[in-house]
């Protein structure tokens, strides 16, 4: 006997569909999408309208390739489709007409029925394994689910892959069967073509939150504490370098996104990534840069090293590096730190000790004495059993000389205790407050007062549920521009 665990609606381009999470007798959960049925006559009418739209709407190659004008292209199709449908079926109801227009938009300038999945805010991942299998999704509350949505053919999957590739100015072919790119929505897409993917063409889409996480969310759901965020805020305010580490899907990039509003307004920020994952709010002065793979002739490649070297000539106040993977990237990045640029980056490591090992050994191989440029390091952790993410450790690198050789050791300031699910103090700082004193002239008493003030502001935002990105941005902007008025408001 099948039972329903949850029901809700999803809206994509004004087409509303029903979603049902069901559980079978064997305990297996499934994701069911119920879409309005179209009669054969309606399908034939849609095909006719589709042909008329192709003839009526002129689309230039620039419009196909430029992601910034995709919305304008959709609006153009929508307006013309509305006119054609109203002319041929003047008595049609508004709801039915909107449904037909939505269907046309999904098929002509979208990814078909996958658009409904991309518009479900409860999903984190959408995976097409082949045309032979139904699409799988990762639900925030239920984990991996098999859906009742399928793709009609392998050609359709390849067509979707080509659409994604064209939008970012790339190609995916039998000779170049791998693609890592981002959709117009900001979601990250990875494609692998057959026969590299032996079942068939594969597309994996990692969705980014339409309502992004903020520092208030992280404090409210116990991912991190106001005490730790106040220290990170202070370090970022005074241009300290911060490194975020963690394992796969531990929340490294999420934390990096969450702490970016701590940067004072009107500072120039440059981000460098292989594929766009960092999503900064509009109120920050931000220039995102992404690498480019070579074309089939092996020309036109833009590496992270190229962008890092170029970024240093663009007068940045802050530099964000998506992930440190290679020695050449790390070399330029640490050089930027040593020349006075404020740098934030992520690295794949499970603890602060593992971060040191990862950075000082191949393939990254940073000389140990270079790590002194990192002022603060944060490690994220994902508890798969409980389905939670936490700041695991906050610490600093301590460089000492032993037998004329530089040795780097971790000093952990805070750590997460799994048994109580609390982040607790672990050791006294040996560096960060001394660095702050040297860079700012603040005394220990003044630093302590700044931390107390920042904690008050963060706790006040949590108490008043000021969790929207713009709300958080406005409060932090007020702190920098008119701190006295903000503190009066809080009191």
Domain at 136, CATH number: 3.30.450.380
Burial of 80 (0-12, 13-18, 19+ CB in 10 A): middle
What pLDDT, on a 0 to 100 scale, did the predictor assign at position 225? 96
181 lies in the same domain as 240: no
In whole angstroms, give the CA distance from residue 156 to residue 180: 18
What pLDDT, on a 0 to 100 scale, did the predictor assign at position 242? 97
Domain of 435 in residue numbering reads as 215-490
In whole angstroms, give the CA distance from residue 230 to residue 380: 17
pLDDT in tens, 110-125: 788 898 899 898 999 9
160 lies in the same domain as 63: yes
Looking up residue 256, the CATH number of its domain turns out to be 3.40.50.300
What pLDDT, on a 0 to 100 scale, did the predictor assign at position 348? 94
In whole angstroms, give the CA distance from residue 248 to residue 337: 26
Give the residue from 162, 186, 206 where a domain finishes. 206
DSSP label at residue 145 = E
202 lies in the same domain as 219: no
283 lies in the same domain as 415: yes
What's the pTM value of the predicted model, to 2 decimals?
Answer: 0.81
How many structural domains is the chain composed of? 2
Contact indicator for 185, 170 with CB cutoff of 8 Å: no
In whole angstroms, give the CA distance from residue 412 to residue 351: 10
Tens-binned pLDDT, residue by residue, of the chain (491 aa) = 678 889 999 988 778 889 999 987 777 899 999 877 777 777 787 777 777 776 766 655 555 555 556 667 677 777 777 788 877 877 777 777 777 877 777 777 778 889 889 989 899 999 999 999 999 999 988 889 999 999 999 999 999 898 888 877 778 888 889 988 877 777 889 999 999 999 999 999 988 877 789 999 999 999 999 999 999 999 999 999 999 999 988 999 899 999 999 999 889 999 998 877 787 888 889 999 988 878 777 788 898 889 988 998 999 999 998 888 888 888 888 888 887 889 999 999 999 999 999 999 999 999 998 999 999 999 999 998 888 999 999 999 999 888 778 899 999 999 999 999 999 999 999 999 999 999 889 999 999 999 999 999 999 999 999 999 889 999 999 999 999 999 999 98
CA nearest neighbour of 229 among 269, 267, 258, 266: 258
In whole angstroms, give the CA distance from residue 63 to residue 452: 52
pLDDT in tens, 306-360: 998 899 899 999 999 888 888 888 888 888 888 788 999 999 999 999 999 999 9
What pLDDT, on a 0 to 100 scale, did the predictor assign at position 347? 94
17 lies in the same domain as 70: yes
What pLDDT, on a 0 to 100 scale, did the predictor assign at position 57? 66
Q: How many CB atoms lie under 10 A from the CB of residue 92?
A: 13
What pLDDT, on a 0 to 100 scale, did the predictor assign at position 98? 78
DSSP label at residue 67 = G
328 lies in the same domain as 468: yes
Percent of the chain with pLDDT over 90: 54
25 lies in the same domain as 162: yes
Task: Give the C-alpha distances (Å, rounded to integers) separating 455 from 115, 249, 266, 431, 448.
Answer: 41, 28, 23, 21, 11
CA nearest neighbour of 56 among 48, 67, 64, 45: 48
Give the residue from 206, 235, 265 where a domain finishes. 206
330 lies in the same domain as 441: yes
Task: Give the C-alpha distances (Å, rounded to integers) separating 125 from 20, 138, 224, 256, 475.
Answer: 17, 5, 24, 20, 32
In order, the DSSP letters of 431-482 are: SHHHHHHHHH---HHHHHHHHHHHHHHHHHHHHTT--SHHHHHHHHHHHHH-
**In terms of DSSP bridges, do strands 143-147 and 29-34 run parallel, antiparallel, or are they unpaired?**
parallel
**In terms of DSSP bridges, do strands 29-34 and 178-182 run parallel, antiparallel, or are they unpaired?**
unpaired
Give the residue from 148, 172, 206 where a domain finishes. 206
Query: Residues 473-480: contacts with CB within 8 Å, 24+ apart?
Result: 473/261, 473/281, 473/283, 473/284, 474/283, 476/261, 476/262, 477/265, 477/283, 480/264, 480/265
37 lies in the same domain as 90: yes
55 lies in the same domain as 118: yes
Q: Is the backbone peptide bond immediately before 381 cis, with ω within 30 degrees of 0? A: no
484 lies in the same domain as 372: yes
117 lies in the same domain as 147: yes
Q: Checking phi first, is residue 265 left (phi over 0); if not, alpha (psi -120 to 50) or beta?
A: beta
């Amino acid at each position: 006997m099948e039972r329903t665990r949850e029901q809700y609606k999803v809206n994509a381009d004004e087409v509303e569909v029903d979603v049902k999470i069901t559980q079978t007798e064997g305990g297996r959960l499934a994701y069911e999408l119920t879409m309005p049925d179209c009669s054969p006559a309606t399908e034939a009418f849609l095909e006719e309208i589709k042909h008329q739209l192709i003839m009526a709407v002129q689309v230039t190659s620039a419009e196909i390739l430029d992601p910034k004008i995709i919305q304008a292209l959709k609006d153009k199709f929508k307006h013309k489709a509305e006119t054609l449908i109203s002319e041929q079926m003047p008595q049609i109801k508004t709801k039915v007409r909107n449904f037909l227009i939505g269907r046309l938009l999904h098929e002509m300038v979208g990814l078909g029925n996958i658009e409904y999945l991309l518009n479900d805010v409860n999903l984190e991942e959408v995976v097409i394994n082949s045309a032979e299998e139904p699409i799988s999704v990762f639900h925030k509350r239920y984990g991996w689910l098999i859906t009742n949505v399928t793709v009609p053919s392998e050609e359709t999957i390849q067509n979707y892959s080509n659409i994604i590739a064209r939008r970012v100015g790339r190609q995916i072919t039998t000779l170049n069967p791998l693609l890592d790119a981002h959709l117009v929505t900001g979601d990250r897409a990875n494609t692998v073509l057959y026969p590299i993917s032996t079942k068939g063409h594969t597309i994996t889409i990692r969705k980014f939150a339409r309502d992004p996480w903020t520092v208030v969310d992280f404090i409210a759901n116990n991912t991190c504490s106001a005490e730790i965020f106040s220290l990170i805020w202070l370090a970022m305010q005074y241009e300290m370098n911060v490194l975020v580490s963690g394992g796969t899907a531990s929340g490294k990039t999420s934390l990096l996104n969450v702490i970016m509003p701590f940067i004072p307004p009107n500072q120039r920020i440059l981000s460098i990534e292989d594929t766009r994952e960092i999503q900064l709010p509009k109120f920050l002065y931000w220039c995102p840069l992404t690498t480019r793979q070579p074309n089939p002739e092996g020309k036109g490649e833009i590496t992270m090293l190229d962008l890092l070297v170029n970024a240093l000539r663009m007068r940045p106040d802050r530099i964000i590096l998506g992930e440190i993977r290679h020695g050449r990237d790390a070399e330029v990045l640490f050089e930027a730190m040593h020349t006075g640029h404020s740098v934030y980056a992520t690295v794949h490591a499970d603890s602060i000790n593992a971060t040191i090992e990862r950075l000082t050994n191949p393939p990254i191989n940073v000389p140990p004495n270079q790590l002194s440029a990192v002022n603060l390091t944060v490690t994220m952790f994902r508890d798969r059993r409980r389905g939670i993410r936490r700041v695991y450790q906050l610490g600093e690198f301590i460089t000492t000389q032993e037998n004329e050789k530089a040795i780097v050791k971790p000093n952990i300031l805070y750590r997460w205790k799994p048994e109580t699910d609390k982040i607790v103090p672990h050791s006294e700082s040996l560096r960060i407050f001394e660095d702050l004193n040297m860079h700012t002239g603040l005394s220990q008493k003044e630093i302590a007062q700044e931390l107390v003030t920042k904690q008050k502001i963060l706790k006040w935002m949590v108490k008043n549920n000021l969790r929207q990105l713009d709300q958080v941005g406005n409060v932090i902007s007020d702190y920098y521009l008119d701190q006295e008025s903000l503190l009066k408001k809080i009191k």
